[in-house]
Structure 1
Amino acid sequence: MSVPAVIEQVLTQHDIEFNVIDAHPSAQLQGTARSSVLQDSQGKLQAIYPAESILDVDALRAHTKRELKATSLEDVQTLCSSAQLSQLTNVPKALGLDIVIDQRLLECTELTLETGNEQHFVSLSAAQFKQLIGDALVANIAVTEAELQTTSLDSAADTDQITAAVANFTQLRIKQRLEETLEFPPCQTLRNGLSNCGLTPMPISKI
């Protein structure tokens, strides 16, 4: 089977037409996405957003009215294992979680999604993606580095606002780098160091 059973099942159940793409350096990928799993007292949630952007957790909290925090890497690995996936998929509904979609993904003519294994992606049209997500919440939950650098700084009226804007960008970028670094289980020393700094690793899906 070219894609994991849970992926084929959810796409078939929703009558989604899709193509399977082999993962190799020369593959032409359009509308790539990534995702993060967060949680609060109500349960887990998966945010799906463009691969070239950074998740804005504050915006996500505002749109969902939930105090969401990053789900631990171990819990995400358990979630994937229960679905017989080797890594996090960003195919909506495949993990049985509530989902929030970044608005930019709906502006793509075609989307490429991770299947939960390292060998294949699935691509589908914008219309098929909209059919798959159904009535899921769609909102602006991610930002690009260019937006952070341009809008935050240009709109700053004084030195304090500029400093705050730079600090916000730096914090988001640090979180992004940590997400990329911590896709593999970190050593206890590194985890303790992150805790002391007040940072929480956020597992992501990346392509």
Structure 2
Amino acid sequence: MPVPSSVQSLLSKQNVHYQISEVPLDENERALWHDQHLRTMSAAKSVILQDTKGRVQVIYAADRLLDLKAVNRHLGRELHAAKPEDVHKFCLSHNLQSIPALPKLAGLLTLIDRSLVERNELLADSGDEKQLLRFSREEFQQIMDDATICDIAVPLEPLEVDDTSSSDADQILGAVRNFTQLRIKQRLEETLELPPLSDTAQRIIKLRVNPNADISDLAQIVETDPSLAAQVVSWAASPYYSAPGKIKSIHDAIVRVLGFDMVLNLALGLSLGKAMTIPKEGPHGALPYWQQAVYMAATIEGLVTAIPRDHRPSFGMAYLCGLLHNFGYLILAEVFPPYFHNYCELADANPHVDHQVIERHLLGITREQLGASLMSLWSMPEEVVVGLRYQTNPHYQGEYATYAKLIFVAQRLLQQHSIGRGPKVAIPPQVFEDLHLDPEKAYTTVANIIESSDDLKHIANELAPHH
């Protein structure tokens, strides 16, 4: 299969020789995910940045993080990542699947990270997900003619290490200390200056641990919070659950449609989320946050159903983990506003990396550490604390590891369908084994969720704070 014609003509115009390197298949005869293959091969990738003066192309290795500040310092500009829809349009018009790592594409000013120039041989994104271009050093230098070489990217590997040598609390305090340069207060919750838990959330947490709690206790709490009540009813009435007849009351929603456990966890997840403010607009705003939460909760619900009964974790806990999995993100927005803005810009410019890498680069800690620490302070169940803390570590084997692995699998399955942020990469077979989950059933589960996506989006719209 030849490389895209626009790439061929660019290379032949410059009279550059190249080889084609096919993307290998994995053990299930599926082609490796493009993001994953680029990363493994340390191949060159390309990103388009823009500001009011126009567009710039940047080429760097897929195992590095693009440092937007360094690019802007170098050019004296205020560039940020081009909008995904503009990139999509660009790719369509040139018949490409991704942006090829070739300088002067469409005549753009091009910066190349210095680490690429020193290699004897270079693999590069060809714009086609099934193959990479292979250049010798001389061949690549020939194409680099008019490009600017500079130091604009940092290695990912050191940023991917989850430091467990010191406690999360110490790391968070360290990050807050660097952030505020103020005297560190004695306790984490004071240091983070987080809003107190709402009355509703406190009552639900008490209800959780009360063995005699029943449906009327729960209905009573939900009914005293009008916005929560409206959300639970709209959730139960959504086409996703296709309940027969009208939902007449909270009691009705619990008994006929959602069940005690589900409403308890749903109400808890929603009332915790309301404690934080998050920008309403944009790809990093409240609506994408709640959409991701709803998709994750629904996907995890499906995955738990696909696990054989003897190995199944608690439905309610797994669901709550899905709803709250990204809670640390709300803390980032609430506690570190200037960093949050930088985070959003860097995340847009580095869609090929996981968020933890960018958070460690900026702050030295991750949202998972923040989320888990806060859940612990708020006396949330240990299953949720562990699930949130270790969700990005598929090798974690402690008690309640199942909840962390469920979040890990659900998140990767959704990313493979372009839902949520982050690269598309394979799920290690071992994680499916640890969960006693048949991979094919997992893929079917997520396909069903995608089919219900309009119903789930409707639910998320109800949850996101309105103006």
**TM value normalised by structure 1:** 0.72
State yes or no: 1:105 paired with 2:116.
yes
Q: Which has the higher strand share?
A: 1
1:38 aligned to which of 19, 31, 49:
49
Q: For 1:171-190, what aligned pairs fall within 5 Å after superposition?
A: 189-190=287-288
- Pick the structure with more helix per residue: 2
C-alpha distance in 1 between matches for 2:117 and 2:155 = 16
Moved more, 103-112 or 91-100: 91-100
1:146–1:188 Cα change, 3 Å = closer
Q: How far 1:51 sits from its partner (Å)?
A: 1.3
Q: In the TM superposition, what is the alpha-carbon distance from 1:129 to its structure 2 partner?
A: 0.8
| Residue aligning to 2:138 | 127
- What amino acid is aligned across from residue 86 of structure 1 in structure 2? Q
Against the structure 1 CA distance between its residues 143 and 203, is the aligned structure 2 distance closer, same or farther, given a 3 Å change threshold?
A: closer
**Residue pair 2:114, 2:149 contacting (<8 A) in 1 also:** yes
Deviation sequence 1:110-135 (CA, Å, 0-9, x none): 11111111111110011111110102
Q: What is the root-mean-square deviation in Å for CA atoms of aligned residues?
A: 3.5
Change over 3 Å in CA distance of 1:160–1:86 after alignment to 2: closer
Q: Contact 2:23–2:131 at 8 Å: present in 1 too? A: yes
Q: Which amino acid aligns with 2:94?
A: A
Q: Distance in 2 between matches of 1:188 and 1:143?
A: 30
For 1:9-48, list aligned pairs within 5 A. 9-25=9-25, 31-48=42-59
AA aligned opposite 1:8: Q
Q: Secondary structure at the match of 1:116?
A: coil
Cα distance change of structure 1 residues 51 and 162 upon mapping to structure 2, 3 Å threshold: farther
Match of 1:52 among 63, 83, 94: 63
Q: Give the Cα separation in 1 of the matches to 2:6 and 2:290.
A: 35
Moved more, 24-33 or 60-69: 24-33
CA distance in 1, matches of 2:93, 2:286: 25
2:178 aligned residue: 163
Q: Is the 8 A contact 1:80 1:88 kept in 2?
A: yes
Q: Deviations over 1:88-142 (max 9, x none)?
A: 2222223432110000000111111111111111100111111101021100000
Please identify the structure whose Cα radius of gyration is greater.
Answer: 2
Aligned positions, number: 177
Residue 116 of structure 2 corresponds to residue 116 of structure 1: no
Match of 1:80 in 2: 91
Aligned pairs for 1:195-206 (under 5 A) are 198=341, 199-200=344-345, 201-202=348-349, 204=351
Looking at structure 2, the residues matched to 23 and 141 of structure 1 have their Cα atoms a distance apart, in angstroms, of 27
- Cα distance in 1 for partners of 2:178, 2:156 equals 16
Q: Specify which structure has the bigger relative contact order, considering alpha-carbon pairs within 8 angstroms and separated by 6 or more residues.
A: 1
Q: Which amino acid aligns with 2:103?
A: P
Out of 129, 147, 169, the position equivalent to 1:136 is 147
Instruction: Name the CA shift for 1:37/1:142 in 2 (closer, same or farther; >3 Å).
Output: same
Secondary structure of the 2:105 match is coil
Which of 102, 108, 125 is matched with 1:91 structurally?
102
Shift of 1:12: 0.6
The separation in 1 between residues aligned to 2:3 and 2:81, in whole angstroms, is 27
Q: Provide the rounded CA distance (Å) in 2 between the counterparts of 1:140 and 1:127.
A: 20
TM-score by length of 2: 0.34
**Residue 202 (structure 1) shift:** 3.0
Amino acid at match of 1:132: I
What's 1:172 paired with?
Answer: none
Q: Deviations over 1:16-49 (max 9, x none)?
A: 1100111114789855112221111221111111
Equivalent position amino acid for 1:163 in 2: N
* Inter-partner Cα distance in structure 2 for 1:121 and 1:188: 37
